[in-house]
Amino acid sequence: AQRVTQPEKLLSVFKGAPVELKCNYSYSGSPELFWYVQYSRQRLQLLLRHISRESIKGFTADLNKGETSFHLKKPFAQEEDSAMYYCALAPFGNEKLTFGTGTRLTIIP
């Protein structure tokens, strides 16, 4: 069975401070991991995926297979980062896309 865990439901960070949103997963095979974001009054959308190894809006995420984690990080938080963030997992060769419970990030001015 595949499972995604986001231990923090709420996270508040001051503007300019570093941000880390935690994500742990369980899956016996080799999955692809994603971060999706939902800004206020907007649709859920892809932020980044582990396989691309890219930085989007200053955010990065590293897949740690030993710890089965895919934490999302940003060195300096901005007010526009306030949103709901979901970690997601999809196994290669299978279309089942599983999401975590989400973390609501609030940036304090």
Closest to another protein by CB, 50 or 73: 50
Site residues (vs another protein, CB under 8 A): 6, 9, 32, 34, 36, 43-46, 49, 51, 86, 90, 92, 95-102
- Minimum separation from the CB atom of position 104 to another protein (A): 10
Rg for the chain (alpha carbons), in Å?
13
> Closest distance between another protein and the C-beta of residue 21, in Å?
13
Name the minimum Å distance from CB 100 to another protein. Answer: 6
Neighbours of 46 (CB within 10 A): 11
Confirm if 42 and 36 have CB atoms less than 8 A apart.
Answer: no
Q: Are 8 and 85 in contact (CB under 8 A)?
A: no
Based on CB atoms, which residue is closest to another protein, 19 or 102? 102
Q: What are phi and psi of 99, to 5 degrees?
A: -110, 155
